[in-house]
Structures are given as C-alpha cells and as structure tokens.
Amino acid sequence: MPSANYLKLTNGLPKRQSSIYIQLRTRHIPLNYHLHRINKSESPHCPTCPGTNETIHHFIFECPQYQRERHIYANATRRNALSITHLLSSEKATPHLLRYINSTGRLKPTFGEI
C-alpha cells in the first residue's frame, strides 16, 4: 500500500501527473539513463550534453538546455530548489516540479501535455 505521505502528495493529481511523480521517486522515469539500462535507448547520455548521463539529477538541476525553465522553477521553490528530497516530499513543491517538467517538453513524447 502507498504511504500516507505519498497519498497526500498525489491526492487530486491527474493520473498522468501521479505516474510521473512515482516514476521520479522510483527512478524509473523515461530519461536516457534509465532507458539505456532497460535497452530502450542506445546511450545513457543527455541529448544536449554529450558524455553526461541523463539522470533525474542532471535533468532537474544541471542540464543547460533547461536553464530558463529551471530559473522560473527555482524562483518559485526558493531555497529548497536544490534539494531532491524536498522536491519529492513537499506538497508545496509538487506543482512547481510538475510545471518545470511540463515546460521542458522532455517527457511530452511519452506523457503528452502534463
């Protein structure tokens, strides 16, 4: 059974957003690092950063491709913007994180508009 905290965080979210959220928490999200591990991608590298694995951390905090989106997101989440623990456990951070993911367009081929 899902924890009470998870249920509270995902309560009221559409199924698509809940799915993204659980995939972030389990690290089974369709970014190249994971896709390469399950033989669905030729390379674990970021499409815009050759030689750098496209992990969740890289996608959210480092990739220069999404610098503008990250700036908007960081302004909304303030000092906790660099804490993956906070992002995946705070009810206040969840809508900002999902908005960031949607604005990057990186997961649109899999999920469509988030």
Q: How far is CA 15 from CA 18, 20, 77, in A?
A: 5, 9, 23
Q: What pLDDT score was predicted for residue 1?
A: 62
Q: Cα(110)–Cα(114) distance, rounded to whole angstroms?
A: 10
Q: What pLDDT score was predicted for residue 58?
A: 96
* Structural domain contains residue 79: yes
* Structural domain contains residue 82: yes
* Structural domain contains residue 4: no
- Going by the DSSP 8-state scheme, the letter that residue 27 receives in this structure is T
Could you give the angle at the alpha carbon of 67 between the alpha carbons of 65 and 68, nearest 5°? 115
Q: What pLDDT score was predicted for residue 35?
A: 96
Number of folded domains that form the chain: 1
* Structural domain contains residue 81: yes
Domain span at residue 88?
15-106
* Structural domain contains residue 47: yes
- 19-42 pLDDT per residue, tens: 998 899 899 999 999 999 999 999
* Structural domain contains residue 9: no
Intervals of the chain under pLDDT 70 = 1
